[in-house]
Chain A
Amino acid sequence: GQNIDQPTEMTATEGAIVQINCTYQTSGFNGLFWYQQHAGEAPTFLSYNVLDGLEEKGRFSSFLSRSKGYSYLLLKELQMKDSASYLCAVDQAGTALIFGKGTTLSVSS
């Protein structure tokens, strides 16, 4: 079967670092996306990993291990505006993205 797991909720304080994990078991795998979604809004693209390793993009980084079926999103220097849901999604060739249930991150001052 297809399964993508993320923690449901996480909390952190401004200026801190937080790591959001995602594990997956899918029948096909081309790559892995991370999206950010603020309440009532559309998801916006954060990152896409195809190869193993860490991709850094400003305050956000994403890691992938294909052999372990594991990814994480690392958010540094947290800001209040980073309070949102973070969605992990697997790219399977020839079909649509499969999304996890999302992790709701609350950043407090």
Chain B
Amino acid sequence: DGGITQSPKYLFRKEGQNVTLSCEQNLNHDAMYWYRQDPGQGLRLIYYSQIVNDFQKGDIAEGYSVSREKKESFPLTVTSAQKNPTAFYLCASSDVKGPNEKLFFGSGTQLSVL
């Protein structure tokens, strides 16, 4: 079955530690996205990539980094510079050549600070 896989589902970070959230898709989509969701809040864009080896900052990129070395993969690293990392992280992809750029979401990763 085609879809987006995020792992792990739950992740704990210690002070000063970098952690990486995985996102893999087999939908052959060109574009991939990372959103952050805090309780009672909507989705805020961290980074997005519309093509391999290229990505753009979203509204809240500070303290995060990404790479897009393969079309299928768009990992997100939460660095120690992100002082408030506790949130639900959602990865998504879309077919930018389609009639509407509907997002397909992964099941999310809940990140908490120890």
Residues of A within 8 A of B (CB): 4, 8, 31, 33, 35, 40-45, 48, 50, 87, 89, 91, 95-102, 104
Contacts and interface: CB of A to CB of B under 8 A. Distances in A.
Nearest to A50: B100
Interface of B: 33, 35, 40-45, 48, 56, 58, 88, 90, 100-108, 110
Q: Nearest 7 pairs between A and B by C-beta?
A: A42-B105, A101-B42, A99-B42, A99-B43, A96-B48, A48-B100, A102-B42
A96 B58 contact: yes
27 contacts: A4-B42, A8-B40, A31-B100, A33-B100, A33-B102, A40-B108, A40-B110, A41-B108, A42-B106, A43-B43, A43-B90, A44-B105, A45-B102, A45-B103, A50-B100, A87-B42, A89-B43, A91-B101, A96-B33, A96-B58, A97-B33, A97-B45, A97-B103, A98-B45, A99-B35, A99-B42, A100-B42
A106 to B, nearest CB: 14
Given A96-B48, A100-B42, A41 B101 contact: no
A42 B108 contact: yes
Contacts of B56: 95
